[in-house]
């Protein structure tokens, strides 16, 4: 009988995985598979819990039928659904409401009933969003501006507050900023940037659409680009970048956040939960808590590897890429001991962080 234990993410990390595009493709494919399975299990768990405690409640009966329909779906369609940002927002909200409802003395099923009933409509919206209409970049990544799912606009603040259609003068100013150029133009820019990224690092081109579901282009924002785990799968891009190389960096930066969100769904990696801005990022001078610092470290290690490839493969942007590579590399050199000495790591997190530090050290050493 042959061995048949599936390659788990934790086993892969013990074998050196970082989930950068430099890993073999089966590493990130296994990460995707494990996280999607985990998300489906949470949906199933909600059904089992509420079916046990409120079996005749209308919302629970409806949800039970909906989950059975979901599990009977074509696995490919179901897996696609499990990566849609709106579905993931629904799942987080439902889990939070469920936990509060189940607490001793809590409100019970009333806390979660509305969310359970909404499952089918969220599912239908997500399926419809996968249709042929609408703009895309990199083949399949949805490109939007203000026409996002209501669940996205519900949780996007404080990163970005979508216009309400109030007609106020402040909102009209914002709308004007969005008219600077049409979304179709940005679609061409993003496609060009991602095409160049793929040429420099083909594996990154393969991974990007598997971890970034939707790009939201918001010229009226006050940031260059943004992500947050509460809307995993969706990234905001402002379009303030001055060159195509900067657009590449913005897109790859946010892609890096997404990959790390997925890794952290399988294991929290560290137990530092303090919210204070205790760390100054060597790359920007911005202050962050350990979580933010860790994300930045993971992403700048990715970006350094990217710029090293651009320096080698693209003569026309060699000079700015080399300059940026040295800036990032200098910051990594400072960050490595800070990351290692300040982290209170889980067992898996300790190994994963060492793997990422090994990648960062390789970049730093290549600069000597």
Partner 1 sequence: MSASQEESTFTIDENSRLDIPKGAMVQHGLGIESLDVDDEMVLYDTLRNQSYRLNAPATEIWKRLDRGLAYEALVADFAAKDDSPQAPDGVEQTLPDFLTKLADRGLIGINQPS
Query: Does 81 participate in binding partner 1 (rule CB under 8 A)?
Result: no
Query: Does 367 participate in binding partner 1 (rule CB under 8 A)?
Result: no
Q: How far is the CB of 1 from partner 1 (least distance, A)?
A: 5
Tokens encoding 36: 């999607």
Torsion of CA 234, 80, 89, 222, to 10 degrees: 10
Query: Does 8 participate in binding partner 1 (rule CB under 8 A)?
Result: yes
Nearer to partner 1, 67 or 360 (CB): 67
Q: 31, 47, 116, 304: which one contacts partner 1 (CB under 8 A)?
A: 47
Query: Does 74 participate in binding partner 1 (rule CB under 8 A)?
Result: no
Q: 130, 195, 209, 268: which one contacts partner 1 (CB under 8 A)?
A: 268
Q: Contact at 8 Å (CB) between 224 and 238?
A: yes
Q: How far is the CB of 42 from partner 1 (least distance, A)?
A: 5
Of all helices (H) and strands (E), which one includes residue 142?
A: strand 141-144
Q: 51, 62, 187, 342: which one contacts partner 1 (CB under 8 A)?
A: 51
Which residues have a Cβ under 8 Å from the Cβ of 14 and sit 6 or more positions away?
348, 351
Q: How far is the CB of 198 from partner 1 (least distance, A)?
A: 31
Of the candidate spans 96-104, 274-282, 310-318, 329-337, the one that interacts with partner 1 by CB under 8 A turns out to be 96-104
* Helix, strand, coil percentages in the chain from 3-state DSSP, rounded to 5: 65, 5, 30
Cis peptide before 318 (omega within 30 of 0): no
Residues in the chain: 368
Q: What is the DSSP string of 158-197?
A: TT---------HHHHHHHHHHTTS-HHHHHHHHHHHHHHH
Q: 5, 133, 169, 184: which one contacts partner 1 (CB under 8 A)?
A: 5
Query: Does 99 participate in binding partner 1 (rule CB under 8 A)?
Result: yes
Tell me how many residues contact partner 1 (CB under 8 A): 33
* 272 exposure class (CB count in 10 Å sphere: 0-12, 13-18, 19+): middle
Q: How far is the CB of 21 from partner 1 (least distance, A)?
A: 25
Query: Does 165 participate in binding partner 1 (rule CB under 8 A)?
Result: no
Phi, psi of 275 (to 5 degrees): -90, -10
Of the candidate spans 95-103, 122-130, 212-220, 290-298, the one that interacts with partner 1 by CB under 8 A turns out to be 95-103
Site residues for partner 1, 23-42, by CB under 8 A, read 37-42
Nearer to partner 1, 16 or 268 (CB): 268
d(Cα 235, Cα 231) in Å, to the nearest integer? 8
Query: Does 49 participate in binding partner 1 (rule CB under 8 A)?
Result: yes
Query: Does 284 participate in binding partner 1 (rule CB under 8 A)?
Result: no
Q: Contact at 8 Å (CB) between 30 and 12?
A: yes
Nearer to partner 1, 31 or 178 (CB): 31
Q: Are strands 141-144 and 214-217 parallel, antiparallel or unpaired?
A: parallel
Q: 26, 45, 173, 287: which one contacts partner 1 (CB under 8 A)?
A: 45
d(Cα 86, Cα 83) in Å, to the nearest integer? 9
Q: 265, 307, 309, 360: which one contacts partner 1 (CB under 8 A)?
A: 265
Kindly list the residues in this chain that would bind partner 1 in the complex (CB under 8 A).
1-6, 8, 37-42, 44-45, 47-49, 51-53, 67, 71, 75, 91-92, 95-96, 99, 102, 265-266, 268
């Amino acid at each position: 009988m042959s061995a048949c234990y599936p390659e788990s993410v934790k086993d892969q990390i013990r074998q050196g995985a970082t989930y950068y595009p430099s890993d073999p493709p089966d590493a990130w494919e296994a990460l995707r598979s494990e996280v999607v399975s985990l998300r489906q299990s949470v949906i199933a768990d909600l059904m089992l819990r509420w079916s046990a405690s409120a079996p005749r409640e209308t919302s629970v009966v409806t949800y039970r039928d909906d989950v059975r329909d979901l599990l009977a779906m074509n696995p490919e369609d179901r897996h696609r659904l499990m990566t849609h940002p709106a579905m993931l927002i629904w799942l987080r909200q439902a889990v939070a409401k469920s936990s509060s409802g189940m607490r001793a003395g809590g409100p019970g099923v009333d806390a979660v009933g509305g969310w359970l009933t909404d499952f089918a409509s969220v599912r239908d919206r997500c399926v419809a969003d996968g249709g042929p209409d609408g703009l895309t970049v990199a083949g399949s990544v949805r490109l939007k501006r203000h026409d996002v799912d209501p669940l996205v606009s519900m949780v996007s603040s404080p990163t970005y507050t979508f216009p309400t259609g109030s007609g106020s003068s402040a909102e009209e100013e914002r709308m004007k900023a969005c008219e600077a150029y049409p979304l179709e133009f940005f679609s061409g820019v993003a496609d060009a940037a991602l095409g160049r990224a793929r040429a420099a690092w083909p594996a990154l081109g393969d991974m990007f659409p598997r971890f970034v579901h939707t790009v939201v282009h918001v010229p009226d924002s006050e940031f260059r680009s943004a992500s947050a785990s509460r809307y995993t799968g969706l990234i905001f891009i402002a379009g303030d970048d001055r060159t195509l190389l900067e657009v590449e960096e913005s897109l790859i930066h946010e892609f890096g956040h997404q990959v790390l969100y997925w890794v952290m769904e399988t294991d929290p990696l560290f137990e530092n939960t303090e919210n204070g801005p205790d760390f100054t990022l060597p790359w920007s001078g911005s202050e962050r808590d350990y979580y933010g610092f860790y994300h930045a470290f993971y992403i700048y290690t990715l970006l350094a590897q990217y710029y090293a490839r651009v320096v080698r493969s693209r003569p026309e942007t060699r000079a700015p890429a080399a300059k940026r590579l040295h800036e990032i590399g200098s910051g990594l050199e400072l960050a490595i001991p800070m990351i290692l000495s300040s982290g209170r790591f889980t067992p898996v997190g300790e190994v994963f962080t060492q793997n990422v530090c090994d990648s960062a050290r390789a970049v730093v050493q290549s600069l000597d």
